[in-house]
Amino acid sequence: MDVKVKIEDLNLWYGANQALHNINIDLYDNKITALIGASGCGKSTFLRCLNRMNDLVGSARIEGNVLVEGVDIYDKSIDVVSVRKRVGMVFQQPNPFPKSIYENIAYAPLKHGIVKKGSDCDELVESSLKSAGIWDEVKEKLQAPGTSLSGGQQQRLCIARTIAVKPDVILMDEPTSALDPISTEKIEALMLELKEKYTIITVTHNMQQAARIADYTAFFHLGELIEYDETETIFVNPKVKKTEDYITGRFG
């Protein structure tokens, strides 16, 4: 198995408060890794380190290395925009731009110069929407506002938007927490399809979701990585008692 993202001795502080403690973890290519843990345990903070979203937090200070395909994304020579292009992100609340469905997908690829306006762009929009499993639902109304779609459709639109810039890694921060069970199942099925092409790292509070879809699961507690292993091991034979207590609901 190839390591896509390697994290070495990662520490993060928000002001004087240390939020992540010496995290070391290898995240594998074409796998889904779920990050689980109670609120405030550092899993979303960790996720945001993987595409330098914490750079936007003034008080955040990071030490350690985050290597994507061997390249440290925190190296001074690295352009942060290119990092976020390679490591896309889908958020908890679907957040389509206040633009048409077509423009939601086309905006970033045009901006990054991935395609030019015209048939290339049309093809990219179509293939991205197809990859996100929403093409059939929107192909007749590409000029309609993205916000006119249902919550589940908006989230798949956001996933299509992420795919359109051809990332290597997709980060998902509780991508289904705002969705109903049917939309959740569609997103989960989509994630299982997408992992064939992308490396997916997802934060979830829904342990059953982690169990259902993730190949690997990492359990965080108070900013520390307590256990990281194949999902089946975590949910059937966890090695650390704290992990077992958490997944069996004995503490939260």
Please give the residue ranges that form the binding site for another protein (CB under 8 A): 185, 188-189, 192, 208, 211-213, 231-232, 235-236
CB of 33 to another protein, least distance (A): 15
Strand partners, 154: none
Say if CB 245 and CB 37 are below 8 A apart. Answer: no
Could you give the CA distance from residue 233 to residue 201 in angstroms, rounded to a whole number? 18
Residue among 82 and 208 whose Cβ is closer to another protein: 208
CB of 190 to another protein, least distance (A): 11
Residue among 46 and 198 whose Cβ is closer to another protein: 198
Residue among 75 and 230 whose Cβ is closer to another protein: 230
Contacts (Cβ under 8 Å, ≥6 apart) of 239: 227, 229, 233
Run of H or E residues at 170: strand 169-173
CB of 163 to another protein, least distance (A): 20
Cα–Cα distances in Å, from 77 out to 10, 65, 67, 71, 155? 19, 14, 14, 11, 33
Run of H or E residues at 28: strand 17-28
Residue among 46 and 228 whose Cβ is closer to another protein: 228
Could you give the CA distance from residue 36 to residue 117 in angstroms, rounded to a whole number? 41
CB of 186 to another protein, least distance (A): 10
Residue among 123 and 232 whose Cβ is closer to another protein: 232
CB of 193 to another protein, least distance (A): 9
